[in-house]
Structure 1
């Protein structure tokens, strides 16, 4: 057996691993519905000034990206995007959500919205922290 280290592997190199991993995982998760959703805040000129991109997979929503134009920070755009995305996820059958965020990003923002920090990685990737938060949606 030989072993190779490949710096900056090509797409083909990566696909060699993904194909094998998917073949192993598919019997367990291939039947689970997966949907990618984007929602955007658009100003009066039609310019996107914020957005959220999520993955709905089974009963969970994973917030992949959330961005608001920095000059509009604190105006409720991020909170509105989150509330609308959560409402959509609930309509689609999700009971929970997860997100990860760096220490210099939005941990207090997510906590204000009811997310609970489940785990933090220190010194990631060097001097920051990476936080993993979840929220269980309650039915009213």
Structure 2
């Protein structure tokens, strides 16, 4: 079989699906746990008109809740809403039977905020982006 490698900035959904399903299948076979059962979640901060102002977005899979995005506008920071979003996300993780929560942040973002909530650093990547550091944190719930 002759093969080639192509770089593209716009992979077709079918291409993404081939790779994703192949990896999920490999992982499920290796760990004996379904990974395709990814379940999304959002902890949304809304105003009285139900406009979303910020919050957290993520999903649970392989027994962990992963927070992909957390953001609040400057005017809402320091009001306790971020802590409330994180507490509700933790409650959701517990309700889903997750062993813990993981997330990442940058040196110019909120590492201290997460550590105050009981998260521990487990990885760093200096100079990502250049001049800054990326941090990975986790909090075990079990």
Question: Could you tell me the TM-score, scaled by structure 2's length?
Answer: 0.82
- Is 1:31 the counterpart of 2:6? The answer is no
**Among residues 105, 125, 128, which one is paired with 1:124 in the alignment?**
128
Structure 1 gap ranges (5+): none
2:5 maps to 4
Structure 2 gap ranges (5+): none
2:23 maps to 21
Contact 2:127-2:133 at 8 Å conserved across structures: yes
- Is 1:72 the counterpart of 2:76? The answer is yes
1:108 maps to 112
**Among residues 34, 42, 47, which one is paired with 1:43 in the alignment?**
47
Higher mean C-alpha deviation, range 1-10 or range 106-115 = 1-10
1:59 maps to 63
Contact 2:122-2:137 at 8 Å conserved across structures: yes
* Cα distance in 1 between the residues matched to 2:18 and 2:10: 10
* Cα distance in 1 between the residues matched to 2:140 and 2:69: 19
Residue 49 (structure 1) shift: 1.8
Contact 2:34-2:62 at 8 Å conserved across structures: no
* Cα distance in 2 between the residues matched to 1:127 and 1:7: 28
Deviation per CA, 1:61-116: give whole Å up to 9, x if none: 11111111211110011100100110111011112110011111111110110101
Residue 9 (structure 1) shift: 4.7
Secondary structure of the 1:75 match is: coil
Contact 2:128-2:134 at 8 Å conserved across structures: yes
Q: Structure 1's 125 and 25: CA in aligned 2 closer, same or farther, altered over 3 A?
A: same
Contact 1:50-1:78 at 8 Å conserved across structures: no
